[in-house]
């Protein structure tokens, strides 16, 4: 692929900006960090690493990443009160060219005060595959609640509760009481405020919420709050292979 096209495809700006970056000597390629000033240079993209100014980048045909979402961030591109999770990502990820929506998009949403595993991608099929209720991708949440959990609440969450304005009962596929005020809840749908509304329906109140797992993917301990990393090919394959 041409060097200028590589920069453009990875989100380093318009074609004109990319051309300027190359011609002004801001681009280095390969492990040897070689200065590359020919916009037409043809490079093998598989495994390609390059540097644009101080940003070291690994070429990715499509972007799949995970973010350890901190509290106090909204999943919207245009947040109303709190900063957007997109501000936690480097600009190229937000600028990658795409169809209607440029840049990576979140796979579903977490509330502003929810922490934990958030997937993002610019692969529309992947986003649909992971967020469509038809595919039943399990999501595991660790909730802290105001009132001590009891067996009756746990049973009701598993049997199904009716949420206001939604006549069809929703149920957890797994629910484990992990402490007097903590539980682990696995859901395969992603309705608005679902965990909070389910706990409210059994007479309790969520005071803290964290997503620890989506499908086969666990939030790794080493990924600090606010940090992101690429998903490995194996992680993407295992997420999309899952048929439940």
**Interface with ligand URA includes 195 (CB under 6 A)?**
yes
Identified binder of ligand URA from the candidate list 36, 85, 209, 219, rule CB under 6 A: 209
CA separation, residue 162 to residues 103, 148, 172 (Å)? 37, 21, 12
**Interface with ligand URA includes 194 (CB under 6 A)?**
yes
Q: Smallest gap, in angstroms, from Cβ of residue 63 to ligand URA?
A: 23
Q: Smallest gap, in angstroms, from Cβ of residue 187 to ligand URA?
A: 7
Q: Which is nearer to ligand URA, 68 or 114 (CB)?
A: 114
Q: Are the C-beta atoms of 105 and 23 separated by less than 8 Å?
A: no
Among candidate residues 33, 54, 111, 165, the one labeled active-site is 111
Q: Which residues pair with 176 in a beta bridge?
A: 184
**Interface with ligand URA includes 114 (CB under 6 A)?**
yes
To the query of whether residue 166 is one of the catalytic residues in this protein, the response is no
Q: Smallest gap, in angstroms, from Cβ of residue 211 to ligand URA?
A: 7
Q: Smallest gap, in angstroms, from Cβ of residue 1 to ligand URA?
A: 39
**Which residue's entry shows tokens 């295992």?**
238
Q: Comparing C-alpha atoms, which of 107, 100, 101, 58 is closest to residue 85?
A: 107
Distance separating alpha carbons of residues 174 and 140, to the nearest angstrom: 9
Distance separating alpha carbons of residues 213 and 221, to the nearest angstrom: 12
Distance separating alpha carbons of residues 119 and 236, to the nearest angstrom: 11
**Interface with ligand URA includes 210 (CB under 6 A)?**
no
**Interface with ligand URA includes 111 (CB under 6 A)?**
yes
Identified binder of ligand URA from the candidate list 110, 117, 127, 172, rule CB under 6 A: 110
What's the helix, strand, coil split of the chain in %, to 5? 25, 30, 45
Q: Which is nearer to ligand URA, 172 or 236 (CB)?
A: 172
Write out the catalytic residue numbers.
111
Q: Which residues bind ligand URA (CB under 6 A)?
A: 110-111, 114, 193-196, 209
């Amino acid at each position: 692929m041409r060097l200028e096209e590589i920069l453009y495809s990875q989100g380093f700006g318009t074609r004109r900006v990319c051309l300027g970056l190359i011609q002004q000597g801001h681009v280095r390629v390969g492990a040897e960090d070689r200065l590359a000033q020919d916009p037409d240079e043809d490079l093998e993209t598989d495994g390609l690493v390059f540097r644009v100014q101080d940003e070291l980048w690994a070429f990715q045909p499509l972007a799949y990443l995970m973010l350890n979402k901190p509290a106090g961030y909204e999943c919207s591109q245009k947040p109303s009160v709190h900063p957007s999770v997109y501000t936690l990502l480097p600009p190229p990820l937000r600028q990658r060219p795409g169809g209607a929506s440029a840049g990576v998009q979140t796979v579903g949403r977490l509330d502003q005060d929810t922490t934990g595993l958030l997937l993002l991608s610019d692969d529309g099929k992947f986003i649909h595959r992971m967020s469509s209720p038809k595919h039943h991708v399990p999501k595991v949440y660790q909730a802290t609640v105001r009132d001590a959990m009891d067996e009756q609440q746990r049973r009701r969450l598993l049997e199904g509760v009716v949420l206001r304005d939604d006549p069809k009962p929703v149920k957890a596929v797994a629910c484990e009481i992990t402490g007097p005020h903590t539980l682990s809840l696995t859901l395969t749908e992603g309705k608005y405020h679902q965990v909070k509304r389910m706990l409210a329906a059994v007479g309790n109140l969520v005071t803290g919420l964290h997503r620890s797992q989506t499908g086969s993917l666990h939030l790794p301990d080493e990924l600090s709050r606010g940090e992101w990393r690429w998903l490995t090919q194996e992680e993407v394959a295992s997420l999309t292979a899952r048929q439940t």
